[in-house]
C-alpha cells in the first residue's frame, strides 16, 4: 500500500511537471506576458505557465549554460538567432511576436519643475537639473542598446571608440563623448539597470528620469508616478522581439502556449502595453 501510494505521488508529480510551461522572458514583458499567461491558464486549467524575467542577453547565456526552460522570449531577434545557430532550439519555431517601443520617462516631480518630456522630447535631458539618467545596461539588454542609439540619433552621444555591445563593460562614457549631456552641469552619470524593468525602478526611485520600454511605462505604477515621450521607431535600434522553443521541449502544453501568443487574446494584451504586432503599421 505504501509502495502504491508512493508510485501515485511520483506519477502525479511527473504529470504536474509535464503540464508546466517554463518561460524565460525579457523584462519588458513583465506586465504583458504575466497577463497573457493568466488568460491562457483560464482557458487551459490543466496547464501552468511558470514565468522568469531578466535581460535578454543574460538569459541567453544562462540557456547556453543549461538553464531549464521551454520557451525563450527575447527583446530582439539576435539572441534567439544565436541559440538557433547553436542548435539549441526546435527548428522552425523562431517567430516575431512584437516590435518594442522606447520612451523617455520623467517623474511628476520633474514635470512640476517644467521638465515635461511630452513637450521637450530628448531636449529634457539637456536641462542642468538632469544629472542622472537610468537605462538598461547595453552590454546585454537590447533596450539599453536602443537607448544608446536613441541618444546618438539626437546628437546627445558621439562615438569615440568602436566596440561590440558585449564589449562595452566600461560604461557608455568610455565609448562615447557625452559632452552634450554634461554641458552646463556640475556632473552627469548613467545609472544602469541589469534589465529594462530594473532601469524603470531606478528611474522611479532614484534618478526621476530614464530611457525605458513603453510596455513598462504603461504599467500602473509608472503611469501614476510620471509621464513619457514616445520615441519614433526610426530614432533607435529596431526592437524586433522574437520567441523560440527550446530543443527537446516540444510537448503539447508548450506548443499550446507557443501558439496562444499569436491569438487575438494575446494580441490584445500586447497592444494594451504599447507593442506593435507583426505586420502592423503605425497609424
Q: What is the pLDDT of residues 158-196, one digit of tens each?
A: 999 999 999 999 999 999 999 999 999 999 999 999 999
What are the DSSP E strand ranges found in 9-137? 20-26, 48-54, 71-73, 95-100, 102-107, 132-136
CATH superfamily of 19-99+238-272: Periplasmic binding protein-like II (3.40.190.10)
Confidence grade of residue 10 (pLDDT, cut at 50, 70, 90)? very low
Segments of the chain assigned to CATH 3.40.190.10: 19-99+238-272, 102-230
Q: 262 or 16, which is more confident? A: 262
CATH superfamily of 102-230: Periplasmic binding protein-like II (3.40.190.10)
Q: What is the pLDDT of residue 12?
A: 43
The pLDDT of residue 222 is above 70: yes
Q: What is the pLDDT of residue 133?
A: 98
CA nearest 134: which of 182, 193, 186, 174? 193
Q: Hey, what's the cell of 49?
A: 505557465
Count the Cβ atoms, other than its own, within 10 Å of residue 107.
20
Buried b vs exposed e over 241-253: b needs ≥16 C-beta within 10 Å? bbbbbbeebeeeb
The pLDDT of residue 6 is above 90: no
The pLDDT of 138-157, averaged and rounded, is: 98
Q: What is the pLDDT of residue 3?
A: 52
For the chain, the average pLDDT equals: 93
The pLDDT of residue 282 is above 50: yes
What pTM did the predictor assign?
A: 0.91
Q: What is the pLDDT of residues 103-131, one digit of tens each?
A: 999 999 999 999 999 999 999 999 999 99
Q: What is the pLDDT of residue 269?
A: 98
The pLDDT of residue 234 is above 60: yes
Q: What is the pLDDT of residues 67-101, one digit of tens each?
A: 999 999 999 999 999 999 999 999 999 999 999 99
The pLDDT of 260-276, averaged and rounded, is: 97
Q: 258 or 3, which is more confident? A: 258
Q: What is the pLDDT of residue 257?
A: 98
Local structure of 117: helix, strand or coil? helix
Q: Hey, what's the cell of 84?
A: 538557433
Q: What is the pLDDT of residue 219?
A: 95
Q: What is the pLDDT of residue 17?
A: 58
Beta carbons of 36 and 44 less than 8 angstroms apart: no
Locus of grid cell 490543466: 46
Beta carbons of 172 and 190 less than 8 angstroms apart: yes
The CA distance from 35 to 17, in Å, is: 22
Amino acid at each position: 500500500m505504501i509502495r502504491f501510494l508512493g508510485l501515485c505521488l511520483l506519477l502525479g508529480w511527473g504529470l504536474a511537471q509535464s503540464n508546466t510551461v517554463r518561460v524565460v522572458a525579457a523584462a519588458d514583458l513583465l506586465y504583458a506576458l504575466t497577463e497573457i499567461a493568466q488568460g491562457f491558464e483560464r482557458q487551459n486549467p490543466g496547464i501552468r505557465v511558470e514565468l522568469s524575467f531578466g535581460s535578454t542577453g543574460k538569459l541567453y547565456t544562462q540557456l547556453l549554460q543549461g538553464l531549464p526552460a521551454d520557451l525563450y522570449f527575447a527583446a530582439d531577434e539576435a539572441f534567439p538567432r544565436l541559440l538557433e545557430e547553436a542548435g539549441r532550439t526546435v527548428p522552425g519555431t523562431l517567430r516575431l511576436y512584437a516590435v518594442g517601443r522606447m520612451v523617455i520617462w520623467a517623474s511628476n516631480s520633474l514635470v512640476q519643475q517644467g521638465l515635461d518630456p511630452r513637450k521637450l522630447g530628448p531636449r529634457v535631458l539637456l536641462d542642468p537639473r538632469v544629472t542622472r539618467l537610468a537605462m538598461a545596461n547595453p552590454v546585454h539588454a537590447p533596450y539599453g542598446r536602443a537607448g544608446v542609439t536613441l541618444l546618438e540619433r539626437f546628437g546627445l552621444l558621439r562615438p569615440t571608440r568602436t566596440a561590440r555591445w558585449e564589449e562595452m563593460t566600461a560604461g557608455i562614457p568610455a565609448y562615447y563623448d557625452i559632452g552634450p549631456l554634461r554641458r552646463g552641469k556640475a556632473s552627469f552619470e548613467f545609472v544602469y539597470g541589469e534589465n529594462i524593468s530594473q532601469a524603470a525602478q531606478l528611474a522611479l526611485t532614484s534618478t526621476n528620469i530614464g530611457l525605458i520600454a513603453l510596455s513598462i511605462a504603461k504599467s500602473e505604477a509608472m503611469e501614476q508616478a510620471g509621464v513619457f515621450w514616445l520615441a519614433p521607431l526610426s530614432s533607435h535600434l529596431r526592437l524586433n522581439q522574437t520567441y523560440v522553443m527550446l530543443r527537446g521541449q516540444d510537448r503539447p502544453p508548450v506548443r499550446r502556449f507557443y501558439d496562444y501568443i499569436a491569438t487575438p487574446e494575446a494580441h490584445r494584451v500586447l497592444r494594451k502595453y504599447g507593442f506593435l504586432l507583426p505586420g502592423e503599421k503605425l497609424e
